[in-house]
Structure 1
Amino acid sequence: MKNMVSLKWLLARMYESDVVIVDCRFQLGKPDAGREAYMEAHIPGAVYLDLEKDLSAVVTEHGGRHPLPDIAELTGTLSRSGIGNASRVIAYDDQGGAMASRLWWLLKYLGHDQVYVLDEGFTAWQKAGFPVTAEQKVLIPAPFLATVRHNMLVEVDEVRENLGDAEVTLIDSREAPRYRGEVEPIDRIAGHIPGAINRFWAEGRSSDGKWKNADEQAARFEGLQQEGQIIVYCGSGVTACPNVLALQEAGFTNVRLYGGSWSDWISYEGNPVAAGDEEKPKGV
């Protein structure tokens, strides 16, 4: 797949000079757990990037729970981590690809196409008997020059302006009960953006933990217009990223991320909130 690589693919190429492996493990609610897991064992040569310290900005009134990082700061972080414009970046996690997909999306947004998510993740790598280590790589900075693709991102004003537009599909990537407004364990208001349909991001993987192939991903998004614009969001802009990746795998090209997502949407008084299921029956 064009955005994913297998365990065996990485095993065969992990020591090639242009490959940079990035450990993105992170547990919501346990902010130190990912780095601690990395310190204990990781894929040889991997560097660690933290969701909240490296791949997000500081939380403010607006922008959501995981605001997108400042571009200059992010490019500096990437460069110091040994990621340059010529690097092939392989990102992995142990959260079903959610955190690795955040780095995947950020690098694509910065104009870097040679970035991939490792299918199955670290535990599967370890269970396969592939090498792990606690040794940390000596980081050699690499020049990284961003060419920002602004069209990949939407802000709250544009989402608001597109409400009710038949040419724009809003996809909520959260679990169905949160989308329907039945429960809300994290954000202060339950529900979803009016008009959004629900496609839980984790359903992009099969029961064995592998990502579904292009045809299976296309089946998840059956009925959506290939030529239409798709805006994807979640709670804070993180787990929307694997859905963006899945949509690309399925052949959709006009896919954009609402970076602040639900937690940003509800930070503005007056933004409408919907509950229940807005899915149209097939054939309608």
Structure 2
Amino acid sequence: MKNIVSMRWLLARMYEPDVVIADCRFLLGQPEAGRQAYEAGHIPGAVYLDLEKDLSSPVSAHGGRHPLPDPAVLASRLSKAGIGSNSRIVAYDDQGGMNASRLWWLLRYIGHEQVYIMDEGFSAWQNAKFPVTVDEPVQIPSSFEVNVQPAMLASVDDVQQASASDSAVLIDSRDARRYAGLEEPIDAKAGHIPGAVNYFWKDVLDWDGRWTDTGVLEERFSKLDKDGAIIVYCGSGVSACPNVIALEEAGFSNVKLYSGSWSDWISYEGNPVATGNSEADKDV
């Protein structure tokens, strides 16, 4: 798997000068918990990047709950954290890779290829008795050049077109109950974008919380056309990112992220909402 590295891989390379480790732990509804967890112990040399302060821009009328950061602002933040254009970045969290995947996607979106996710997460690292510290690294600013990849991003117009005309497969990455509209703990409306199919993002992981191998991922997405257009979304554009990575690992070449996702979709009054588990149930 080209985007996922093992804990032992990182253990062997963590002190190499071009490696930057990024701690992306974050809990929705507890915005300080990730930073507190980092301060209580992290992988030596890791810098902390906050999902809402560093990896999102402020919430506004549209754009969802975690709007994409401005590329120049993000690049400035990365530079201050010592992440440069020649860095190899390894991201981790303790949320199944969800937040680390957001950093992976953002870096790829602004043109940085050398970014990886550490499999399993911080608790597994700690349980393996690998080194942990409370010391925060001295962050020496680095130079980061932005080269935005607009083809990675789907707009609300793209999604409206895909929903109306099947111009792309829409993948909803939330759990089945939220997709079906049976419950909605976060957003103002329940349901999904009409025409979307449900692939819960946590299904990219096995029972032990490890990323499944390429063959399993290919089987998971076997009903989809590898060359066809795919747009992935979730609640706010974060948990969709593991599915984007999994699709890339499985050989799909035309995958976009709808970054605003469900929370952006429902911010437009005229956008239709579907409920239920099949197209026959959808309420347009």
Shorter chain as normaliser: what TM range? over 0.9
- 1:113: how far off? 0.5
Letter in 1 for 2:3: N
Q: Give the TM-score taking structure 1 as reference length.
A: 0.97
Residues 1:279 and 1:198: Cα distance change in structure 2 (over 3 Å): farther
C-alpha distance in 1 between matches for 2:273 and 2:39: 42
C-alpha distance in 2 between matches for 1:166 and 1:226: 16
1:152-231, aligned counterparts within 5 Å?
A: 152-231=152-231
Matched residue SS, 1:83: coil
C-alpha distance in 1 between matches for 2:42 and 2:109: 26
Tell me the equivalent position of 2:104.
104
Tell me the equivalent position of 2:46.
46
Can you list the C-alpha shifts for 1:34-66, whole angstroms capped at 9, x where unaligned? Answer: 000000100000000000000000001100000
- 1:278: how far off? 2.6
Tell me the equivalent position of 2:8.
8
Matched residue SS, 2:237: coil
C-alpha distance in 2 between matches for 1:88 and 1:227: 29
Structure 1 contact 198–279 (Cα < 8 Å) conserved? no
Instruction: Give yes or no for the alignment of 1:135 onto 2:135.
Output: yes
Tell me the equivalent position of 1:62.
62
C-alpha distance in 1 between matches for 2:96 and 2:264: 24
Tell me the equivalent position of 1:117.
117
Unpaired segments ≥5 residues, structure 1:
none
Can you list the C-alpha shifts for 1:228-271, whole angstroms capped at 9, x where unaligned? Answer: 00000000000000000011111101000000000000000110
Structure 1 contact 196–278 (Cα < 8 Å) conserved? no
1:14-25, aligned counterparts within 5 Å?
A: 14-25=14-25
C-alpha distance in 2 between matches for 1:11 and 1:164: 48
Tell me the equivalent position of 1:277.
277
Matched residue SS, 2:117: strand
Structure 1 contact 167–228 (Cα < 8 Å) conserved? no
Residues 1:95 and 1:279: Cα distance change in structure 2 (over 3 Å): farther
Matched residue SS, 2:231: strand
Q: Give the TM-score taking structure 2 as reference length.
A: 0.97
- 1:167: how far off? 4.4
Matched residue SS, 1:162: helix
Structure 1 contact 6–118 (Cα < 8 Å) conserved? yes
Matched residue SS, 1:28: coil
Matched residue SS, 1:184: coil
Instruction: Give yes or no for the alignment of 1:151 onto 2:179.
Output: no
C-alpha distance in 2 between matches for 1:167 and 1:31: 37
- 1:155: how far off? 1.1
Instruction: Give yes or no for the alignment of 1:254 onto 2:264.
Output: no
- 1:138: how far off? 0.2
C-alpha distance in 2 between matches for 1:278 and 1:218: 23
C-alpha distance in 2 between matches for 1:162 and 1:11: 43
- 1:279: how far off? 6.8
| Runs of 4+ with >4 A deviation | none
C-alpha distance in 1 between matches for 2:93 and 2:239: 13
Letter in 2 for 1:165: S
How many matched pairs? 280
Tell me the equivalent position of 2:78.
78
C-alpha distance in 2 between matches for 1:167 and 1:260: 19
Unpaired segments ≥5 residues, structure 2:
none
Identical residues among aligned pairs (%): 63
